[in-house]
Amino acid sequence: MQEAQRHTHPDFNALVQRRDDPSVGLEDDFFDRFYFNMHGDALEPLVLIGGGYFPNRGVVDGYVIAVANGRQHNLRFSDSPGDAHNGTTGPLSWSTEGSRWRLRVEPNPSGVELDVNWTPRAPAWEVEKIVLENGRGGSSDFRHYFQSGRYSGTLRIHDDEYAVEGWYGQRDRSRGRRAVGGGQGFHIWVQAQFPETNIAFLFDADRAGNGRYCSGAVLREDGSADPIVDVKHNLDFEDTELRQGHLEIQTASGAVLNVKGDLPVNGGGYLAGGGYGGWHGQPRGNNHLEHEIWTLDGSVTSRDLPTPITDRLASFRWGGESGVGVFEFSRSRHPEAIYRPTLVMTTR
């Protein structure tokens, strides 16, 4: 297992960089992406927002996903860089002031609009550089960090308006090369939000069930950070859908945290709706926009989508505390992939 390193200077605020910037990679599929999730203390609504730049393809794209009232609203947009240098692509715009971000989604055909400010509440954490082979001749080689914060502002999903005040949200940033699929057995990215603490980590296993990557930390509002060095897991999968997760998390300080996450059935959060699974980075010309609504009645599942990766809002229990957060999961659809729990559950 690899140990994470604390990111003390989160200066990746400018999404679009000049193509002749020496820090920009030379590979055709080099990307620079940001991601935010936003939710309150309840299990809906959940909003996912992302933007990405592919400098060597001349493409900037983005998405908005909103899950509420038994439906997932998907909006995807793509453009040439243009105004993205000034923080705008499609209906999405972003600006920064110090460590604070302002995110806006202007009126658009999907019916999802927002104007919110995100302010960090805990330290940022940069994981160890991710270098993985995908088993099909491709490889991932990228930097990645995340940070917990709170939102204020407004949200509208069709006729429903929400006053956003003190809502939780995770900021995520990655840049490099990423080859998805192939060789992966399962993947989880846990962002459990408790009143004063964010438990956050990545964990990947191969198709034989062997852990191949673990990195994260327990990040607190007092500014402290305790690296996560190992995670034992017992995940209740139903085909490719995750229903419940029991986790035993060991930190560098010697603490052992027992965390339980419960995920709602048909809770949406399918990232294919935002373009994951091959849509990102493909030239589509200027001002391209598409959208649809998925009814979450079981007719849409992670097995049938371009990618099974799902960001689902979950309730968490840790000791005597209750929390809410995003439990991202992906289970391979390859017939040789197996899941092997490493945490034995006992009944009393």
Q: What is the pLDDT of residues 312-332, one digit of tens each?
A: 999 999 999 999 999 999 999
Strand pairing report for 5-6 and 125-126: antiparallel
Strand pairing report for 184-194 and 112-120: unpaired
**Collapsed DSSP state (helix, strand, coil) of residue 82:** helix
User: d(Cα 102, Cα 316) in Å, to the nearest integer?
Assistant: 28
Q: Is the pLDDT score of 118 beyond 90?
A: yes
Give the number of C-alpha atoms closer than 13 A to the C-alpha of residue 183, restricted to the C-beta side.
Answer: 15
- Residue 94 tokens read as 């972003």
pLDDT score of 30:
81
Q: What is the pLDDT of residues 199-223, one digit of tens each?
A: 999 998 988 888 888 999 999 999 9
Asked whether 309 and 328 are in contact (CB, 8 A), the reply is yes
User: d(Cα 268, Cα 263) in Å, to the nearest integer?
Assistant: 10
pLDDT score of 6:
42
Q: What is the pLDDT of residues 77-95, one digit of tens each?
A: 999 887 666 788 899 999 9
Give the number of C-alpha atoms closer than 13 A to the C-alpha of residue 201, restricted to the C-beta side.
Answer: 29
Q: Is the pLDDT score of 141 beyond 90?
A: no
